[in-house]
Amino acid sequence: MRLTASILSFLLTLSLSAQERVLRIGILRDKTIHAVLVMSAKGTCAVFADGERKGEIQVNDGLRIEASGRSITAKSLGLSISAKRRIEVVPRTATNGFRMRSVEGKLPERAYPGSLDISLEGGGLQFTNAVPIEAYTAGVVQAEAGKEHAAEYYKLQSVSCRTYALCNHRKHAPQGFDLCDGVHCQVYQGACKQDSIRQAVEATRGMVMVDPDIKLIHALFHSNCGGETLNAEDLWSKQEPYLRATIDPYCRNAPHANWTRTYTRKEWVGYLERRYGLHSTDQEHFAALLNYDPTCRDLYLGNTFPLVPLKNVREDLKLNSTYFSVKTTGDQVTLQGRGFGHGVGLCQEGAMRMAREGKSYTDILHQYYTDVHLVDVSTLDFFREEEAVPAIAGPRRD
């Protein structure tokens, strides 16, 4: 049997950890890139063309990979190869990884753990990073959470980013990879450089959140809930038992706790008339829309007919949240808002404060996700195997 790039990549992963999964992340898919320079991050990387090993590159070798017509060419000081479908750069161990920058200068150099798969698509290059899930999680936490947080905060972010990745790993299946590297999935810009994040990922290695049916949860989060989170069904039509409204006293003085937006009376009234067919001649309705002060989170603005859903108002006017009051003084309408984001699941600024105050990451996760369990991902494989036995050998259980 010939050792192809994928088999080598697979064996490297096995040697790293018997259970660690490898995710295929579509990277830089939002850009059109024709040529890149790829280097090994540490030690050597093997180079494959259409699955056949062609040689290797060192830390100081730049391998210039270019789309040229219907093929991909790759050149370094010691290599000159061409591939019809794909070029792969595979490090000796999956944690070593590679560095990459675009030749056209649009992309600053980035280091990635794992291997790189480059294919041709529409005249440009397409990149896929096959990365062990723990290294991917550290990269995502670094990109999504930012610097200088308490260790417990990085731990809970590690658990939620890992859970999200496993729960959504089929999101880009039709395109041939698992997740993209943008906000559509989770922001991922390569290897994590921050020790405190790497330690938090290691401390929670393999840990994910499941619901009572042992299904991975949709670990949604947002910046600031304004003091109260929402039920999932208040935002989408689907109800989730673990995404329930909860009171959050921890985020009230955080950076994104408050916002203000002002309109002229004509702009505000005009919007409500055009969008909802409400008439400003209807005094009773309009009095409520010009001075509206909810005591807790509402789903509708006042009690009009037709109803004005706050989630539509937020979307139309690009407001930070659906949680706001309206006050009219003369010709000026002021929206005084609380929170930032959709308000479902974990409130990041509340969680940061709880972590600073010494709460454990498990307590914080239980504060925002109702009745969830933290389990090692390998136990999920165990439960799946358990389930598979009666499904094949026994009677149907529905």
Under the rule (CB under 5 A), what is the footprint of Zn ion?
A: 180, 184-185, 225, 248, 251, 347, 350
Of the pair 96, 129, the CB lying nearest Zn ion is at 129
- Nearer to Zn ion (CB atom), residue 246 or residue 280: 246
How far apart are the C-alpha atoms of 326 and 287, rounded to whole Å? 11
What gap in Å lies between CA 171 and CA 15, rounded to an integer?
Answer: 28
Burial of 179 (0-12, 13-18, 19+ CB in 10 A): buried
Taking the least distance from each CB to Zn ion, the nearer of 184 and 266 is: 184
Residue with Cβ nearer Zn ion (30 or 109): 30
In the complex, minimum distance from the CB of residue 304 to Zn ion, in angstroms, rounded to a whole number: 28
- In the complex, minimum distance from the CB of residue 29 to Zn ion, in angstroms, rounded to a whole number: 8
Q: Is 127 in a helix, a strand, or coil?
A: strand
**Closest CB 256 distance from Zn ion, rounded Å:** 9
Report the C-alpha gap between 21 and 271 in whole angstroms.
Answer: 50
Strand partners, 17: none
Rounded least distance, CB 375 to Zn ion, Å: 25
The runs of H, that is alpha helices, within 146-264 are 151-167, 195-203, 232-235
Query: Considering beta carbons, is residue 117 or 248 the nearer one to Zn ion?
Result: 248
**48 vs 112, beta carbon nearer Zn ion:** 112
Q: Of 365, 313, 321, which Cα lies nearest the Cα of 341?
A: 321
Three-state DSSP class for residue 287: helix
Q: Which is nearer to Zn ion, 35 or 245 (CB)?
A: 245
CA distance 202 to 134: 8
CB 149 → Zn ion: shortest distance, Å? 16
Rounded least distance, CB 114 to Zn ion, Å: 18
Nearer to Zn ion, 88 or 248 (CB): 248
**In whole angstroms, what is the distance from residue 75 CA to residue 117 CA?**
16
* Side-chain-facing half-sphere of 256: CA atoms under 13 Å: 19
Q: What is the dihedral of CA 10, 16, 19, 20, to 10 degrees?
A: -80
Shortest CB 172 distance to Zn ion, Å = 6
What's the closest the beta carbon of residue 249 comes to Zn ion, in angstroms? 8
Distances (CA, A) of 144 to 98, 159, 369: 22, 13, 19
* Pick 31 or 193: Cβ nearer Zn ion: 31
Sheet hosting strand 332-338, strand order edge to edge: 258-264, 332-338, 324-329
Residue 345 CB partners (closer than 8 Å, separation 6+): 218, 219, 220, 221, 222, 229, 243, 368, 369
Query: For residue 139, how many C-alpha atoms fall within 13 Å in the half-sphere facing its CB?
Result: 26
Interatomic CA distance for residues 28 and 30, integer angstroms? 5
Shorter beta-carbon distance to Zn ion: residue 184 or 384: 184
| 8 A C-beta contact, residue 205 and residue 18 | no
